[in-house]
Chains A and B, each alone.
Chain A
Amino acid sequence: MTPKKQAERNVRKPAPPAPAAASASTEPRRPRVKATTRVAAWRDHHLYGFFSSLGRLAARPWATSLTVLMLGFALALPLLFYIAFDNARALSGGLREAREVTVFLKPSIESTAANTFAAELRKREDVEAVALKTPEEGMAEFRQLSGFGEALDILKDNPLPNVLIVTPRLPADADDPPLVTELRNDTRVDLVQYDATWRRRLSDILNFGERAVAVIAALLALATLLVIGNTVRTDVQARAEEIAVMQLIGAGRGFVRRPFLYAGLWYGLLGGLLALVVVIGAEWAIAGPLERLLASYDHALALRGLGVASAMVVIGASALLGWTGAYLATARHMAAGHPE
């Protein structure tokens, strides 16, 4: 005998109604039952809700698929936006936060002079760090990043100047700090590159994108809630007679409601799964061309897809949305049939 069957054996025999004392005549008392029996009853109720809701969905495959399709695409849209922006953020990389000032020294400045200049700068209050990049280092980096490696071998001399990379000690949003102005005016300096405005703009664009994705996601989540809520509400209406009968023969609010809540859960779950399938399909569709594009750059960039954890969150969230939608849709109806 399986343990499950064993558990079912230990089941309550209905106790004869206890002769209540005449004084304490309020509500019929819950018969005292063993905890194991309670758990078994609870489990059976949930199994009932679980299977009867599945049966109801399966009984109307066409209507169910339409609802699930609608939900799947509604959920897939913000996911695709999210992935697009996640990749954009990854591509922009450290740029957003970078606040280094790149100082190209005049070609006439030798490495020793450059070192002196760097030491000078390090003493300044508003400088956090200074790194010197010699022409040799610059060439090596250029060779690696640009893809012109062989072409560079033709050059006899290294045309690159010494470069100082200065990290200023200042708030990231300062537009043109005095340090930059002074560097620009220094005679040893050929060119100062400090793209604060541009970086801030990129950051703003990405922030805007994130916010837009969040807003769209919130709206579509609401739409999901409403679609499921409305589907369940129609279902409740179609079963009004059945609900009335169940309430008359003693079904509590939870018992009547549970199959609908499970139905909402199923809608959410299936919609979430479909959304993931859509996302994976879309990723797969653009993967080829994108890979070729990325391959044309030397350093490897990979498309960041939706991770397993995010996928789980999506499924969990959509199931929760479904349950909530069904809960809201049934809340009003459940009060009927039980006069106050």
Chain B
Amino acid sequence: MIRFDQVSKRYDSGQDALSELSFEIGAGEMVFVTGHSGAGKSTLLKLIGLVERPTRGQITVNHASLARMRRRGIPQLRRSIGMVFQDHRLLTDRTVFDNVALPLIISGTSREEIGKRVRASLDKVGLLAKEKASPMTLSAGEQQRVGIARAIVAKPPVIIADEPTGNLDPQLSAEIMNLFPEFGAVGTTVLVASHDLHLIKRIGKRVLVLDHGKLIDDFRPTMP
């Protein structure tokens, strides 16, 4: 589903964010990317959504070669990827419902269908009761759940999350992180970047470890 082939990224500042990165993630697989800050986790996720272009190498997402994708194709690519951000990036001038509905509105789904899917999505993250609330009135954990609901509402084949628990306390982090394996279970490919190795190991999925832009480990922790 996601394939990196000798991918390097050097920023204009001269900083090498990723070098010679190769790996493959199958459909329905759940994978964590970890490493210290600055190891290249965020850059890796940005390359998948074509927020950045790689300097060298080939990336394939959902059977599409990103190198050959022109600017016009980018929105279509991003609609096949549900993105979760560390700071959730909700639109504060709209209700929870409208925030979650946005990807469906963009893809041109009918209003009836939007209503059904948004509620199903909010139900999955346990926030069905808050659909009319403003994101500002929610707690940090709830806001992140809304962000996740928005990422899954259009049922994208790929979900990527960049430090989804970065701003949360350990207990909330565990609750949020435990939402992701459920998506993998229904055939969605999930890629989560997190520095919280302790938490990741407990979930027991495949882990890619980055260090200074290089892939130094690719393992699956044994469940305790």
A residues with a Cβ closer than 8 A to B are 8-9, 11-12, 14, 17, 19-20, 22, 25-28, 30, 37-38, 40-42, 44-45, 48, 241-242, 244-253, 255, 337-340
Residue on B nearest A340 in the bound complex, by CB:
B71
Which residues of chain B are within 8 angstroms of A44 by Cβ–Cβ distance?
105, 108, 110-111
Interface contact A25-B60, CB-CB below 8 Å: yes
Nearest CB on B from A267, distance (A) = 20
A25-B60, A250-B81, A339-B50 known, 6 other contacts, Cβ within 8 Å:
A19-B63, A38-B108, A44-B110, A244-B89, A248-B51, A249-B78
Interface contact A251-B113, CB-CB below 8 Å: no
Candidates A25, A42, A242, A247; contact of B108 at CB < 8 Å: A42
Q: Mark B71-108, 1 if CB is under 8 A from A, else 0.
A: 10111111111010100010101000000001101111
Number of contacting residues on B, CB 8 A? 43
Is B198 an interface position by the 8 A CB rule? Answer: no
A sample of 29 inter-chain contacts (CB < 8 A) reads A8-B111, A9-B112, A11-B112, A12-B108, A14-B107, A14-B155, A17-B62, A19-B63, A25-B65, A26-B64, A26-B65, A26-B68, A26-B69, A27-B68, A27-B76, A28-B76, A41-B107, A41-B108, A44-B111, A241-B89, A248-B49, A248-B78, A248-B85, A249-B79, A249-B83, A250-B76, A250-B77, A338-B71, A340-B71
Interface contact B75-A45, CB-CB below 8 Å: no
B residues with a Cβ closer than 8 A to A are 49-53, 60, 62-65, 68-71, 73-81, 83, 85, 89, 91, 93, 102-103, 105-113, 150, 154-155, 157
Interface contact A12-B109, CB-CB below 8 Å: yes
Interface contact A249-B110, CB-CB below 8 Å: no
Interface contact A48-B60, CB-CB below 8 Å: no
Interface contact B108-A14, CB-CB below 8 Å: no
User: With the chains together, A245 CA to B70 CA distance in Å?
Assistant: 20
Which residues of chain A are within 8 angstroms of B77 by Cβ–Cβ distance?
27-28, 250
Interface contact B80-A17, CB-CB below 8 Å: yes
User: With the chains together, A42 CA to B83 CA distance in Å?
Assistant: 25
Which residues of chain B are within 8 angstroms of A37 by Cβ–Cβ distance?
108
Candidates A20, A40, A252; contact of B75 at CB < 8 Å: A252
Which residues of chain A are within 8 angstroms of B75 by Cβ–Cβ distance?
247, 250-253, 255, 338
Which residues of chain A are within 8 angstroms of B109 by Cβ–Cβ distance?
11-12, 41
Most chain A CB within a 10 A radius of its CB, from B53, B89, B108, B154: B108
